Structure 1
Amino acid sequence: MAEHTYSTHLVWQGSTGEGYRAYRREHRAVAPPAGTTVALSADRAFRGDPAFLNPEQLLVMAASSCQLLAFLAVAARAGVDVLDYEDEASGFIDDGSPPARISTITLAPVIRVAPGTDPAVVHKLVEQAHEECYIANSLNSEVTVEATVL
């Protein structure tokens, strides 16, 4: 496999001179060559603005997106016609169990396939995709996939 590098650019401006409670958590990031700027903040629990995405959400979103893309690839290679895929993903942090980290991510995709497709084959492809997912393979968090096949 070839090597790939992923770069981002992040910007924050403000002052921490007034202490932890006072500084702004809002910042922005871009990942060239994509031109979309993402406005970010901390989670509300960490004095952030809930109107913006936070890093914890981005991590869960990345795991969900990677699973989708890996699944679509293995399904296409296996000749399985996937018609719809929708995931309700969640991540969990237990502040009382150091070190602070997202310890579990649960992906719950609902996958609709062409009529006559064997659900067992789809579940096997979900597992294969999970094993091939770059993001899940990069994390030390437990990532589980609980797929529903329609």
Structure 2
Amino acid sequence: MNAHVYESTVNWSGSTGAGYAAYSRRHQVTAGRAGLAVSADRAFLGDAALPNPEQLLLAAASSCQLLSFLAVAARAGVNVVGYRDDATAIMPSDARPVRITHIVLSPTVTVSQSDPETVVRLMREAHAGCFIAHSLTASLEMDITVEVTE
């Protein structure tokens, strides 16, 4: 069986000896050769200046949609000249187990001389091929805006 295997490393050091409120949530995530300082969400006593795992999961879903869409658009001959996604993830504190239950991707796609309906169709096609979206149990919706330039 062929499989794609992905690896990352998480490093933390410190002490939890002083209890829950006292230890640092800051840790280092390395994926490939790139490292990223990460912490817990501020609500869980993390450093609000650093990304947290929940944000990284959302970023992975958004990034996968972008990459899938660019591939589909390029194959369809659509010239994409800009893409911005202001994505949101919802994690209700009363859900059991606590988890991200809903993701909204809100991409604004700028294309050169293309039909907006075609772009929306290609976005949905890209979503159907997004590996990360298929790996999540959270519901995912898209609120797509298309801007056409000459």
Q: TM-score band (shorter)?
A: over 0.9
Letter in 2 for 1:125: L
**CA–CA separation in structure 1 for the residues paired with 2:96 and 2:51:** 24
User: 2:76 is matched with which residue?
Assistant: 78
* Matched residue SS, 1:102: coil
Count of aligned positions? 147
**RMSD, aligned α-carbons:** 1.2
Deviation of the 1:98 alpha carbon? 1.3
Partner of residue 64, structure 2: 66
Structure 1 residue 145 and structure 2 residue 137: aligned? Answer: no
Structure 2: runs of 5+ lacking an equivalent:
none
Q: In terms of mean alpha carbon deviation, does 130-139 or 13-22 score higher?
A: 13-22
- Structure-2 residue corresponding to 1:109: 107
Give the aligned partner of residue 27 of structure 1: 27
Post-superposition offset of 1:3: 2.2
SS in 2 for 1:85: strand
Mapped contact 1:108–1:147 kept (Cα < 8 A): yes
Q: CA deviation at 1:2?
A: 5.2
Partner of 2:28, secondary structure, is: strand
Stretches (4+) displaced over 6 A:
none
Which residue identity lines up with residue 28 of structure 2 in the other structure?
R
Task: State the TM-score, normalizing by the size of structure 1.
Answer: 0.94
Look up the equivalent residue of 1:6 and give its one-letter code: Y
Corresponding residue for 1:135? Answer: 132
What secondary structure does 1:37 align onto?
A: strand
Verify: 1:12 aligned to 2:12, yes or no: yes
TM-score by length of 2: 0.94
Identity %: 50
Residues 116-149 of structure 1: CA distance to partner in whole angstroms, max 9, x if unpaired?
Answer: x111111100100111111100000011111101
Residue of structure 2 aligned with 1:48, choices 39, 46, 49? 46
The answer to whether the 8 A contact 1:130-1:145 is kept is no
1:96 Cα offset (Å): 1.3
Shift in Å, 1:36: 2.0
Distance 1:109 1:2, change over 3 A: farther
5+ residue gaps, structure 1: none
Q: Deviations over 1:63-119 (max 9, x none)?
A: 00000000000001111111111110010110012110011111000001112x111
